[in-house]
């Protein structure tokens, strides 16, 4: 794989003062997990994280975009999370039905350290960063969101995958008694997703536990989710309860539901139309475009790999990206 290059160079004026940065890092280490619960009461109660301070103004990771961010209000009220309902507003309305405490993640498959790990186990060794990523939805809308998390690759290395591990398979919580969407046959439950191993280990691939310097709200995939910014949003699986190292390309929920519409790779590619609409244009939801009224604003060109072509195109050298959509 080609050496990783940041999206943009950070200006000297944007670099955080070393003393301030060191103090922030000290606070994060002392807190154990580096996230705090907002006083607004809109965020989930997570005892494992409640003792930590607010993240505050973290120095943005060099891979972040400097585009206008989508507001918290839009990003947390216009969501795809079918476990909580299929309407864009259902996840926020039904967020209280997702139980995130206690939480654990099962690790299995081709690795040396399988087991069931608590959320505390998962988070404690990792330093958190804020990364401002473009996120593209297959329905032709996009957002810019500041995610808080750590590289997925750093987590996967802890479990010592063997040479037989070619793919990583993820599974979301299964709780049909509480999650209204799982009573519907719209998808085969539980929700599953997958990445090729080199995609999973790429520096852009993030395990997120927060947004906008706060704990992930339930509708955004609490308490821990995947973020893969060069792929369509449905690849960024939410509320993860299981990670498996597998030797064959795994099933993924949307590919099972519509194999002619949703491929395994699901890279943002404006030249490959969805069966029912074009992917060549997108509408950006942001504060400057009037919030959700931007659904009716003019569209902009969709960028190859969602604007991360320089960073990730080498992963697919020699592949037909129209065939492997």
The answer to whether residues 195 and 167 touch, using CB atoms and an 8 Å cutoff, is yes
Full domain range(s) for residue 210:
12-316
How far apart CA 229 and CA 253 sit, in angstroms, is 19
How many domains is the chain partitioned into structurally?
Answer: 1
Residue by residue, pLDDT tens for the chain (325 residues) are 444 333 333 333 333 333 333 333 332 343 344 443 332 322 333 443 433 334 444 555 656 898 989 999 999 999 999 999 999 999 999 999 999 999 999 999 999 999 999 999 999 888 888 899 999 999 889 999 999 999 999 999 999 999 999 999 999 999 999 999 999 999 999 999 999 999 999 999 999 999 998 899 999 999 999 999 999 999 999 999 999 999 999 999 999 999 999 999 999 999 998 888 899 999 998 755 554 555 556 789 999 999 999 999 999 999 999 999 9
Residue 170's φ and ψ, nearest 5 degrees, are -120, 150
The answer as to whether 80 is a domain residue is: yes
Q: Which two tokens stand for residue 115?
A: 């087991």
Domain CATH number, residue 133? 3.90.420.10
Residue 1 lies in a domain: no
Q: Is residue 4 one of the residues assigned to a domain? A: no
Residue 164 C-alpha from the chain's centroid: 26
Q: How far apart are CA 231 and CA 138, in angstroms?
A: 9
Q: Is residue 3 part of a domain?
A: no
Q: How many Cβ atoms are within 10 Å of 89's Cβ, its own excluded?
A: 13
Record the pTM: 0.83
3 state SS of 290: coil
How far is Cα 100 from Cα 120, in angstroms, rounded to an integer? 13
Residue 303 within any structural domain of the chain: yes
Edge-first strand order for the sheet with 192-196 is: 115-118, 104-109, 240-246, 167-172, 192-196
Distance of CA 200 to the CA centre of its chain: 12
The span from the CA of 129 to the CA of 143, in Å, is: 19
Backbone angles phi, psi at 243, to 5 degrees: -130, 125
- Cβ–Cβ < 8 Å for 202, 153: yes
How many residues belong to the chain?
Answer: 325
Q: Classify residue 321: in a domain, yes or no.
A: no
Residue 231 resides in a domain = yes
Asked whether residue 325 is assigned to any structural domain, the reply reads: no
């Amino acid at each position: 794989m080609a050496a990783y290059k940041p999206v943009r160079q950070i200006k000297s004026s944007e670099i955080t003062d070393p003393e301030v940065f060191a103090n922030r890092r000290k606070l994060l280490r002392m807190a154990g997990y580096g996230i705090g619960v907002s006083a607004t009461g809109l965020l989930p109660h997570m005892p494992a994280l409640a003792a930590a301070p607010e993240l505050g103004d973290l120095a943005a990771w060099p891979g972040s975009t400097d585009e206008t961010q989508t507001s918290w209000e839009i990003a947390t009220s216009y969501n795809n999370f079918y476990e909580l309902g299929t309407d864009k507003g259902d996840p926020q309305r039904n967020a209280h039905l997702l139980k995130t405490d206690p939480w654990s993640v099962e690790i299995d498959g081709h690795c040396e350290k399988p087991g069931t790990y608590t959320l505390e186990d998962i988070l404690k060794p990792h330093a958190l960063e804020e990364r401002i990523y473009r996120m593209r939805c297959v329905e032709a809308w996009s957002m810019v969101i500041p995610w808080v998390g750590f590289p997925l690759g750093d987590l996967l290395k802890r479990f010592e995958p063997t040479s037989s591990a070619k793919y990583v398979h993820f599974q979301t919580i299964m709780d049909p008694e509480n999650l209204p969407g799982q009573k519907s046959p719209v998808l085969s439950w539980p929700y599953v997703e997958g990445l090729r191993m080199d995609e999973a280990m790429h520096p852009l691939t993030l395990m997120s536990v927060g947004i906008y310097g706060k704990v992930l709200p339930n509708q955004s995939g609490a308490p821990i989710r995947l973020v893969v910014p060069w792929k369509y949003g449905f690849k960024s699986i939410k509320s993860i309860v299981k990670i498996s190292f597998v030797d064959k390309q795994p099933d993924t929920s949307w590919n099972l539901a519509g194999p002619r519409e949703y491929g395994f790779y699901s890279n943002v590619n404006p030249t490959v139309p969805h069966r029912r609409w074009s992917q060549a244009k997108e509408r950006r939801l942001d504060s400057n475009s009037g919030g959700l009224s931007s659904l009716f604003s003019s569209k902009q060109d969709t960028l190859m790999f969602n604007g991360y072509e320089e960073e990730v195109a080498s992963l697919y050298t020699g592949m037909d990206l129209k065939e492997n959509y």
